[in-house]
Amino acid sequence: MDVRIRNHVTVTGRADGPVVMLAHGFGCDQHMWRLVVPILERDFTVVLFDHVGAGRSDLSSWNEERYSTMGGYAEDVLEICRELALGPVTFVGHSVSAMMGVLAVARQPEAFARLVLLAPSPCFIDDPASGYRGGFSAGDIDELLESLDANYLGWSGAMAPVIMGNPERPELGEELTNSFCRTDPDIARVFARVTFLSDNRTDLARVSVPTLVAQCSSDAIAPPEVGLFVQSRIPGSQLVTLNATGHCPQLAAPEETAAAIAAFAGAGG
């Protein structure tokens, strides 16, 4: 299977610009970047793709063994980079894709110029023994996954607006709900476990390229302590707190999000 078909890879923007690769989070697809892309493509080559099992990816390529770990997704990222052969890219990973980027960089750092971690979380579960606060107790996550297993569409309708935030703009929560509901429930159940049960805290120290940690000022899924933790564990990384609220700033505040990415990725540089 051609990886361009498998991951529905699309390339747009300036052919002679630095390359920015945008990776979406759980329950989403590349369409979630649509408000950011027109801004970035003025100065960058922009690479978009759907994780296998999402959007217009080739669903026949999905198998539980490969995609029940973060590593399977990280390998997909590397295969896309090799297939496109556009040189080192700035990888922008939103939410769970941030840690996919961390793993991909650790495996093949020469494929990456920079790394942007947008609303990242290396571990959603609190670890009282170490003092780490991920934002959820183990019991919280167990209940979340049980609810998802029992009624995925109902879970989507309840959780998506919480994840999105911005309750004064209900159309944003509705869009995320609809995106969740388009995902095959069986695939979503596996991906949810990858998202909410993975612990990549020790992998952060393996990142060896310039990194920007971009967190939102208020985020029910990734609290400020998480962004600070990520920045403290990646050598030489920078932390920026966006004015944006919620967990999806590319929809809630696309201009601010695009500006942060462009400034770090080096428009014209």
Average pLDDT over residues 98-124: 98
| In contact, 141 and 196? CB cutoff 8 Å | yes
| Mean pLDDT value of segment 32-58 | 97
The torsion angle over the Cα atoms of residues 183, 22, 120 and 148, rounded to 10 degrees, is 0
> Which DSSP string corresponds to 26-43?
TT--GGGGTTTHHHHTTT
Catalytic position from the list 95, 121, 198, 237? 95
Confidence band of 234 (pLDDT split at 50, 70, 90): very high
Q: Is there a catalytic annotation at residue 219? A: yes
Average pLDDT over residues 123-135: 96
Q: What is the mean pLDDT of the chain?
A: 96
Catalytic residue flag (residue 94) = no
Q: Is 156 a catalytic residue?
A: no
pLDDT tens digits along 143-170: 999 999 999 999 999 999 999 999 999 9
Whether the pLDDT of residue 17 is over 60: the answer is yes
Write out the two tokens for 66.
Answer: 């490969």
For the stretch 69-82, pLDDT in tens is 999 999 999 999 99
**pTM beyond 0.75:** yes
Cβ neighbours for 233, distance < 8 A, ≥ 6 positions apart:
122, 201, 204, 205
pLDDT at residue 269, rounded to an integer: 43
